[in-house]
C-alpha cells in the first residue's frame, strides 16, 4: 500500500474501518524537508537530539509562522525554551495555524498572558518536597525529578518553572539525596521517575538509577514518565528496551494527545515495549483546539489500545502560568467523557481528573448519571439516556 493510498483512505474512512496497516499510519506525515537525511541518521535518536529546531529561522524552514507565533517565540525564550525534534516537526501541517501538533510545539501569544489564579507551581510540588527532587504528596509514592531536559518542550507543560532551565538540573548529589530519602522511608513502594524526560539520560545513567531504585527492598513499582514515544520514538532502541526490562516491574507512562501523533514509529515503539513486558499507559491532557472533541479522544485511545497502551488519565489542564489558552471548560470535559462511555470499550475510556491546585491531588470528574436517590432506590440513566432503578440497600 502506497503512502498516497493510505492518505486517501484517511480522508474517506474512520480509522476503525480501515485495515490493520492503514490504521497504524493514521498520524503518518512525510519528511520531505529531510529527504536527504539517510535513514540510519533519521532513526538515530542522537541525531534527532542534535538537530532539534530551536530558532525562528529553524521553524520558518518548515512552517509559515504567524505574527503571533513570532512574538511568542521571542517573548518566551527567556522563561521556557523552544525545541522540536525533526521527527515531531515533520508531523506539523505547515499551512494550518490550528494544527494540533503545531499548537503543542510552537509558542503562541497566549503563553505571554498571566491570568489571575495562574501558578508557577500549580500542583504544589515544591511544597511537598522534603529533599530536592523528591515530591512526596501521597503516602505510598513519590515523584523523583531526575532531569530538566526534554526532546520537545511542550507548550502546555505544567513544570515550566523547571523544565528547559539548566539551573534546575538534577546533579549527582541531588539524585543521591533522592535515593537516600526513598531508602529511608519504607512506606514508599511506588516511585515515578520524571522530569523533564528521564529518557534524555544515557542508557548507562538510566540503568544505574533504575538499578539503585530496584535495590531498595520496599520499592515495589517503578514508573517511567516519558513523552519520547510521541516526540522521539527512535530513543527506544532494542538495547534500551532490553535494559529497561531488567528492572521489572517497570511501567511506562506516556503522553499522546492527538491521533496525528499516532505514527508507525510510535506504534513500533509501544509494541516493542509491550513485547518485553513493559506495561504502557497514556496520560492525555485535555487541550483547547488540540483534542477537545470526543472523536479525537476516541480515535487516539482506540489506536493506543491496538498498540497495547492503556488510556489511563485524561487530565484537565493545570493552572500553570502561560497555558490558559489551552484550558477547556470542565463541563466540556464531562461531555467528552459521557460521549465516550458506551460507544467504545471501557478500556478506551480514561479517568478524567483535575489535579487540584496547590497539591490537593487528583480528583476524578465523572458525568452525573444519577438522577435521584433516597433510602429505597437509586434512579440513574445509562449511556443512551435510558432510565433505570436499583435498590439503595
Residues identified as active-site: 137-138, 141, 150, 154, 157, 159, 318, 355, 362
Count the neighbouring beta carbons within 10 Å of the beta carbon of residue 198.
24
Return the residue matching grid coordinates 498572558: 113
Which run of H or E residues covers position 373?
A: strand 370-373
Cα dihedral 152, 154, 157, 162, rounded to 10, equals 30
Pairing of strands 134-138, 351-356: unpaired
Length of the chain (residues):
393
φ, ψ for residue 281 (rounded to 5)? -135, 150
Cell numbers representing residue 44 in the block: 538515530
Instruction: Say how far apart CA 389 and CA 77 lie, in whole Å.
Output: 57
Crossing angle of helices 203-214/238-245, nearest 10°? 10
φ, ψ for residue 225 (rounded to 5)? -95, 110
- What distances in angstroms separate CA 77 from CA 81, 112, 167, 227, one per listed residue? 5, 11, 15, 22
Instruction: Say how far apart CA 370 and CA 229 lie, in whole Å.
Output: 39
Instruction: Say how far apart CA 24 and CA 265 lie, in whole Å.
Output: 9
Instruction: Say how far apart CA 351 and CA 337 lie, in whole Å.
Output: 9
Instruction: Say how far apart CA 197 and CA 191 lie, in whole Å.
Output: 15
Amino acid at each position: 500500500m502506497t503512502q498516497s493510498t493510505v492518505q486517501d483512505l484517511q480522508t474517506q474512512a474512520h480509522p476503525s474501518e480501515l485495515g490493520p496497516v492503514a490504521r497504524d499510519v493514521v498520524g503518518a506525515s512525510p519528511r520531505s524537508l529531510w529527504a536527504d537525511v539517510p535513514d540510519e541518521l533519521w532513526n538515530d535518536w542522537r541525531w534527532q537530539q542534535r538537530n532539534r529546531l530551536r530558532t525562528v529561522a529553524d521553524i520558518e524552514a518548515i512552517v509559515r509562522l504567524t505574527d503571533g507565533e513570532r512574538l511568542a517565540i521571542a517573548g518566551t525564550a527567556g522563561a521556557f525554551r523552544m525545541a522540536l525534534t525533526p521527527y515531531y516537526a515533520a508531523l506539523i501541517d505547515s499551512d494550518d495555524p490550528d494544527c494540533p501538533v503545531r499548537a503543542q510545539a510552537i509558542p503562541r501569544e497566549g503563553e505571554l498572558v498571566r491570568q489571575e489564579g495562574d501558578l508557577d507551581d500549580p500542583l504544589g510540588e515544591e511544597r511537598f518536597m522534603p529533599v530536592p527532587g523528591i515530591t512526596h504528596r501521597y503516602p505510598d509514592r513519590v515523584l523523583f525529578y531526575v532531569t530538566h531536559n526534554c526532546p520537545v518542550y511542550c507548550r502546555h507543560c505544567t513544570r515550566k518553572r523547571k523544565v528547559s532551565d539548566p539551573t534546575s538540573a538534577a546533579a549527582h548529589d541531588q539524585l543521591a539525596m533522592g535515593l537516600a530519602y526513598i531508602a529511608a522511608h519504607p512506606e514508599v513502594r511506588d516511585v515515578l521517575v520524571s522530569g523533564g524526560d528521564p529518557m534524555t539520560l544515557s542508557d548507562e545513567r538510566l540503568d544505574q538509577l533504575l538499578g539503585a531504585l530496584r535495590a531498595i527492598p520496599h520499592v515495589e513499582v517503578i514508573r517511567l514518565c516519558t513523552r519520547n514515544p510521541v516526540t522521539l520514538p527512535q530513543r527506544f532502541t532494542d538495547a534500551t528496551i532490553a535494559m529497561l526490562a531488567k528492572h521489572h516491574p517497570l511501567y511506562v507512562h506516556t503522553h499522546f494527545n492527538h491521533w496525528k501523533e499516532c505514527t508507525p514509529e510510535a506504534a513500533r515503539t509501544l509494541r516493542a515495549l509491550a513485547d518485553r513486558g513493559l506495561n504502557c499507559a497514556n496520560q492525555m491532557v485535555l487541550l483547547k483546539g488540540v483534542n477537545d472533541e470526543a472523536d479525537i479522544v476516541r480515535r487516539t485511545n482506540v489506536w493506543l489500545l491496538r498498540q497495547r497502551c492503556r488510556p489511563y488519565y485524561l487530565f484537565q489542564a493545570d493552572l500553570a502560568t502561560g497555558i490558559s489558552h489551552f484550558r477547556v471548560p470542565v463541563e466540556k470535559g464531562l461531555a467528552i467523557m459521557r460521549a465516550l462511555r458506551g460507544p467504545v470499550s471501557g478500556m478506551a475510556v480514561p479517568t478524567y481528573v483535575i489535579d487540584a491546585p496547590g497539591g490537593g491531588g487528583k480528583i476524578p470528574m465523572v458525568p452525573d448519571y444519577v438522577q435521584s436517590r433516597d433510602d429505597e432506590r437509586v434512579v440513574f440513566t445509562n449511556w443512551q439516556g435510558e432510565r433505570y432503578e436499583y435498590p439503595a440497600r
